[in-house]
A and B are shown apart, each in its own frame.
Chain A
Amino acid sequence: MLLFITRRLLFALMLLLAVSLFTYLLFSILPADPAALTCGKNCKPEIIAANRVRLGYDKPILEQYWNFLKGIFVGRDYGTGAAAFSCPAPSLGYSFSQHECVTTLIARTFPVTAYLSIGALIMWMSLGVGLGSIAALKKGKWQDKAATTFSAIGVSLPTFYIGLLVLFSFCIWLRILPFPKYESPFVNPGAFFTTMILPWSTLAVLSAASYTRLTRNGMLEAMNEDFVRLGIAKGLQRRTILRKYVLRSALVPIVTIAGLDFAALLGGAIITESVFSLPGMGRMSIRAVVESDLPVLVGTTMVAAVFIVLANVIVDILYGVLDPRVRAK
C-alpha cells in the first residue's frame, strides 16, 4: 500500500512537471508581448524595454521556465535598486496587469472557490444520492419519473442558464434573496450564506442530475444481484439490505466520480463565479485571459492541475478503502 502511494505520488509529480512545461511553453508562443502589456497604450518603448528586463522576459524561453520552476521553491526577485520587489516562495510569477504576485492573488481568490466547491459538493451529493435512492425504491412510480425528469433537465441545461434563472427568480422576481455580493464567512456569515446559496444550488442542480442517475442505476443494478437475494433469504430487515447491500455497492463508483468532479471545481468554476460575481479563481482566470495576463494563467492552471492529480491519487486510495476487492491487489 505504501509502495503504491509513493509510486502514485512520484508519477503525479512528473505529470505536474509536464503540465507546467506545456502551459508555460504554450503561453510563451502566443503573439502577445508580455512586456508591452505591462503598461498602457501610450507606453514609451524605454519603459517596455526596462520592464522586459525587470520581469525576465528578455531571457531565452527555457531559462524563463527554469526561473519559474526555481521560483516555486525559493521565491523570485524582480529588478534592481529602488524598483526591486520580490515574490516569496512559493512564487508562481508576477501579474503585470494586477501588479501583484500570482501566489498572493491565488491565496486571495482560492478560498472563495473552495467555499463554493465544498458547499456545492455537500448539496449535490445529498440531493443526487437522495433523489436517486428515492427513484430506485419507487421505480416506475411518479417519484421515479419526477426524479428522472429532474435529472434530464439538469443534465441538459447549461450552467449560465440555470444560474441566470435562479438569479432572476430569487433576487429580482421573488426578491427573497439580496443580489449576490460576496462577503467572507468570517466577516459577515449571514451575507456569505445568502450570497452563496444560489451558486451552490446552481452547481448542485447541475451535478446532482447525473448523480441521481448514477445512484438510481447503481441501486437498481445492485437490487438484482444474487447477494441481495441472499440477504433477503437470510431474513434481514429491508432497511439493513438497502443500507449494507444495495446502497453500499452503488456508492463505490459515486464516491470516486465525486472526488474527481470536486477537484475539477476547485480549479475554478468559471461560469458560476462570473454569473454570481464571486471573486474566485475562475473569474480571475477569465480576467487573465482577457488581459493576456500569462503568469496568472500559468498559476491557476498549475493549481487546477495539482488538485486534479491529487484527487486522482486520493480517489485511487479511497477506492481501495471502499472496495476490499481492490485493496488486495
Chain B
Amino acid sequence: MTTPLLSVENLNVSFATPDGVVRAVTDVSFRINTGETLGIVGESGSGKSVTASSLLRLNNSVTASTSGKVLFDGTDVLTVDEDEMRRIRGQDIAMVFQDPLSALNPFYTVGEQISEAYLVHHPKASKSDVRTRVLEMLEKVGIPNPSKRIDEYPHEFSGGMRQRIVIAIALINSPRLLIADEPTTALDVTVQAQILDLMKDLQQETGMAIILITHDLGVVAEVADSALVMYGGRVVERADVMSIFSVPTHPYSWGLLGAVGSLDTSTRGHLATIPGTPPSLISLPNGCAFRPRCSHQEGVESKCANNVPVLRPIEGTSSESACHLADHQLVSIGQRSSRS
C-alpha cells in the first residue's frame, strides 16, 4: 500500500473555555490519497470544522490543545516549527472558507490579495509574471473579464464570484491538498453547483486531493469519493460514497439520509428529522454520544449507555462503523433505510 498524501491519526482537539473543556474532536483518524475527495459530514458542533482547521494549525493557539498526528507527506504538521508551518500553509495545503463575504480583506483589491498569496511563497517573482499568473487564475475560476476585475475590491463582487476569488487564492500555488470548509453553504443553490463543478474540474486538472466539509449529503454524493460521518467530535462512520448511500451502517447516518428530501419521496407531508439536539461537547453523555437520540438500541442498551463504541469494519460491506449493534443488524437496517 502506498503512503497516503495525508494521514490523520488519533487527532484530539479540546478548547479551554470559561464553561469547561470543550472536547471538539476525539480520536479522529482518516487518510486521503492524491486526487481523492473526502467528504466530512456532520451537524454543527460535530467537530468537522475544528478537524479541518487543525490540519493547518489554525485553531486559537491559546485555548486549544491538540494531540495526535497529522502526517502530510510524512511530515507531522502538528509538530513542525512556525516557519515550516507557514511554508506548508497556502503552498502545500490551502483552504477555502465557508463565508466568501467575510473571507476577503475589504481594504485590498482582489488582484492584490491573490498576488499576495503567490508572492509569499515566490518572493522572487517579477511583478508582471505575478499579474499574468493572477489573470490566468481568475480566468480559470471563471471570472469574466479578468483584466478589468483584477483591480476591483471584494465588495464589487457577488457571493459566488467572491468564492471563486477565494478558490483562486487557494489554488494559485497549486497545492496538493485543498481543504474546503463548507464552501457552498453561504451560496445560492444554483451557484453551489457551479462552485462544486469548478472544484471538480480544477481537481482533474491538477490532481490535488480535496477534503470537503459539509452538512449537505447531496454535496457529498456529487463530488466525494469517500465520506466520514462525524458526531459529537468522533467519527461514527467511514465509507466510500457508494456504500454510504446504498448501505449506511450507523444509526446516525440512517437518520441523516432519512432527513434528505427528494422529489419522489413517498412519505407526503413532514420531512423526517432526527429527534433531539446534538450533544454539548462540554458534557458528552456516557457511552455512545448518539444514544439519547438513537432508536435502535434493542438488546444492547447497557453497552450503549456505558461503552463508547469504537470504529470497526462491518462484515459484508467496505464500511467502518462505531455502533454496538451486530454487523448483520447494521447491514439489514441500513439496506432498508436507504430504500425508504
Contacts and interface: CB of A to CB of B under 8 A. Distances in A.
Contact of B90 (A233, A323, A328): A233
A45 interface: no
B156 interface: yes
Contact of A230 (B87, B88, B97, B107): B97
A233 B107 contact: no
Contacts of B89: 232-235
A234 B116 contact: yes
Interface residues of A, number: 23
A324 B103 CA distance: 16
Give the contact-size bracket for chain B.
20 to 34
Interface in A222-259: 225-227, 229-237, 240, 244-245, 248-249
A230 B121 contact: no
A234 B169 contact: yes
Given A244-B108, A325-B106, A233 B120 contact: no
Interface in B83-105: 86-91, 94-95, 97-99, 102-105
Interface centre among A230, A231, A237, A244, by most chain B C-beta atoms within 10 angstroms, is A230
Contacts of A237: 86, 120
Given A233-B56, A234-B120, A328-B156, A249 B90 contact: no
Interface string A292-329: 00000000000000000000000000000011110010
Given A233-B58, A235-B87, A235-B91, A226 B155 contact: no
A324 B169 CA distance: 20
A223 B44 CA distance: 22
Interface string B290-324: 00000000000000000000000000000000000
Contacts of B155: 324-325, 328
B322 to A, nearest CB: 30
B30 interface: no
Contacts of B88: 235
A245 B105 contact: yes
Contacts of B90: 233-236
Interface in B50-106: 56, 58, 62, 86-91, 94-95, 97-99, 102-106
B156 A227 contact: no
A235 to B, nearest CB: 4
Interface in A264-312: none
Given A230-B166, A328-B155, A236 B120 contact: yes
B218 to A, nearest CB: 24
B105 A227 contact: yes
Contact of B121 (A227, A235, A248, A328): A235
A232 B120 CA distance: 11
Contact of A233 (B95, B102, B106, B121): B95
Residue from the set B91, B107, B116 with the largest chain A CB neighbour count within 10 Å: B107
Contacts of A225: 102
Nearest to A223: B60
Contacts of B95: 230, 233
A46 to B, nearest CB: 70
A244 B99 CA distance: 20
B141 interface: no
B208 interface: no
Nearest to A241: B105
A233 to B, nearest CB: 4
A226 B106 contact: no
Given A233-B94, A237-B120, A323-B106, 7 more contacts: A230-B95, A234-B117, A235-B90, A244-B105, A244-B107, A249-B107, A325-B153
Leading 9 A-B pairs by shortest Cβ distance: A235-B90, A235-B89, A226-B102, A324-B153, A234-B90, A233-B95, A234-B117, A226-B103, A227-B105
9 contacts: A230-B166, A233-B95, A234-B116, A235-B90, A236-B116, A237-B86, A249-B105, A323-B107, A324-B155
